[in-house]
Amino acid sequence: MASAFVDSFSENFSEVQDPRTRPVDNPLEEILFLSVCATIAGADGPSDIEEFGWTHLAWLRRFFPLANEVPSHDTISRVFALLKPREFNKLF
């Protein structure tokens, strides 16, 4: 079941281009998944998203490896500042 969910999520968000130009520790797909889950659970901003990630790391790893653990709130904030809002919003 988790695999089908991850496949569906990945397919839906595959159109979002990673705006970062340097090598990264946290893949965009993992940041988006963490952010969507945290927001659904009531997170309000990057700090809440990071906190949700640490609190639910074991559960999140059922879906994505999070090999470099939870991205910092600064990383989450930078990624969303760089994303094209229309590109991201059209997926919802």
Rounded to whole angstroms, the Cα distance separating 49 from 39 reads 7
Judged by phi (left if over 0) then psi (alpha if -120 to 50, else beta), residue 35 lies in alpha
- The confidence band for 2, taking pLDDT boundaries of 50, 70 and 90, is low
Token pair of 17 as six digits = 């281009």
41-45, 71-75, 85-89, range with the lowest pLDDT: 85-89
Under 8 Å between Cβ of 76 and 44? no
Q: What mean pLDDT is predicted for residues 46-73?
A: 97
Predicted TM-score (pTM) of this structure: 0.89
Judged by phi (left if over 0) then psi (alpha if -120 to 50, else beta), residue 19 lies in alpha
| Mean of pLDDT over the chain | 90
Rounded to whole angstroms, the Cα distance separating 72 from 14 reads 22
pLDDT at site 5: 76
